[in-house]
Amino acid sequence: MSEIKPLEQFELKRLVEYEAFGGVDISFTNSSLFMVISVLAAAVFLLGGMRKNALVPGRWQSMAELSYEFIASMLKDTVGSGGRQYFPFIFTTFMYILMCNMTGMLPYSFTVTSHIMVTFGIAIFIFVAITIIGFAKHGLGYFGMFLPSGTPWFMIPLLIPIEVVSYLSRPISLSIRLAANMMAGHAILKVLGGFVVMMGAATGWLPIPFIVLLTGFEFLVAFLQAYIFTILVCVYLNDAIHMH
């Protein structure tokens, strides 16, 4: 019986090695490949679904339209009408993370969002973008984010550092939450799946329903993590637009 290695699935592998000027390694890896696949999957899903643009939508078009309406409703509920212009930004974020999570569920695939550097790269880009939006809308008044109105004067020296640390920790919490959940879910699935295979070898039967249940649960986690990441981005965007 082969040894179960639940973390082996997260190893980076160079597919095309390339070293740029200055010794910078910009090799094309399995992570890079599945980032490209995720973008293509999102494009095929949306463009293919809206290709016919029928008055009575079919299943594919209905799924594409439901995705649009789901994010539009989320943005309206959390940000209000002022967030409508940022819909492409939020929708792109959701679809990209969702497709990265879902393609990671394919056999022999690679889960891009299980790597903290990938999720941190996405989170820090979003953090900088939202900070720019806040300063563009409020100017220097955006610094008021760190001092809620009505704060007693004697609480100011304590509250401002707390608010600054809380604000700067947003990309860290976003990235760790997504990467940790995806890595933990896939590792547990690998371990339990290995136990199921060993159980089948020992007993002569393979509990297929158990494997299906575990896989279905991980698909749910993949969707929920994309949803949680996106709704937190909407909350941060709401703070940038309306402050508190």
pLDDT at 236: 93
Question: Could you tell me if 113 and 224 are in contact, meaning their C-beta atoms sit under 8 angstroms apart?
Answer: no
Summarize pLDDT for 137-154 with one digit per residue, the tens.
Answer: 989 888 888 887 777 877
The set of residues, in sequence order, having a beta carbon less than 8 Å from that of 186 and lying 6+ positions away, is 6, 9, 10, 104, 111, 114, 218
Read off the pLDDT of each residue in 9-21 and give the average, rounded to a whole number: 80
Give dist(CA 232, CA 163) in Å, integer. Answer: 17
- 16 — phi, psi (to 5°)? -135, 110
The set of residues, in sequence order, having a beta carbon less than 8 Å from that of 147 and lying 6+ positions away, is 156, 159, 160, 163
- pTM summary value: 0.87
- Residue that is written with structure tokens 């497709």 in the block: 99
Summarize pLDDT for 185-230 with one digit per residue, the tens.
Answer: 888 877 777 777 666 666 656 677 777 888 888 899 999 999 999 9
Question: Could you tell me if 90 and 230 are in contact, meaning their C-beta atoms sit under 8 angstroms apart?
Answer: yes
Summarize pLDDT for 89-124 with one digit per residue, the tens.
Answer: 999 999 999 999 999 888 888 889 999 999 999 999
Select the more confidently predicted residue: 233 or 147: 233
Question: What separation in angstroms does the CA of 136 have from each of 3, 62, 133, 240?
Answer: 55, 37, 5, 10
